[in-house]
Amino acid sequence: MAYTEPKFEVVQAVQSRDVVRIVGRFDSPDRPAPPLAPAGLYAHPKSGEEQYQLHRAVSRQDDLVTFETYGAQSTSMPRPGDVLFYRAWWVPKAMDAALDKEAKWTRKNYPDNGDHDHCLFTWETISAYEGSREGYWSEKYGWITVKAYDDVIANDLYRLRASGHGA
């Protein structure tokens, strides 16, 4: 059976300053598996055109999930009743790395050994021969790009480290 992306029905969307709070429900109570955010909402399944970003899941009660998106500059928000397709960005190990304030990250060049890795957060290639040639390394979590380190670890773009977790 082919994979189908979960549907997300918007119940409420409210903007306060630079924070958009989106409340909704998934088409199946047992999907999707955590971590729920960061993620994106799309008008069509398998579409590459993201409609809205979901930076952090702040609560999950009964069948309702509340997400927040930070740095919102747009007046365009989903409307109650909109049904969009949901796509998570991270695997559980990425969320663990984002939340682990004790992890040691060292900035260094990727070894010139003909191999490559992918950034835990963005899946970008890190290698000596293509993609990012420099990144941050953690013995526990592996490689991430310099930009991913700046966004997720140093600047806490998704406000996960300050809160301690996502829903």
Examine the pLDDT at 165 and tell me if it is beyond 70.
Answer: no
User: What's the pLDDT tens digit per position in 73-112?
Assistant: 666 789 999 999 999 999 999 999 999 999 999 999 999 9
pLDDT of res. 56: 94
Contacts of 149 (CB under 8 A, 6+ apart): 105, 107, 135, 136
Judge whether 31 and 39 are in contact, CB under 8 Å: no
The pTM assigned to this predicted structure is: 0.86
Contact call for residues 1 and 20 (beta carbons, < 8 A): no
Radius of gyration of the chain (CA): 17
- Helix residue spans in 41-131 (DSSP H): 92-99
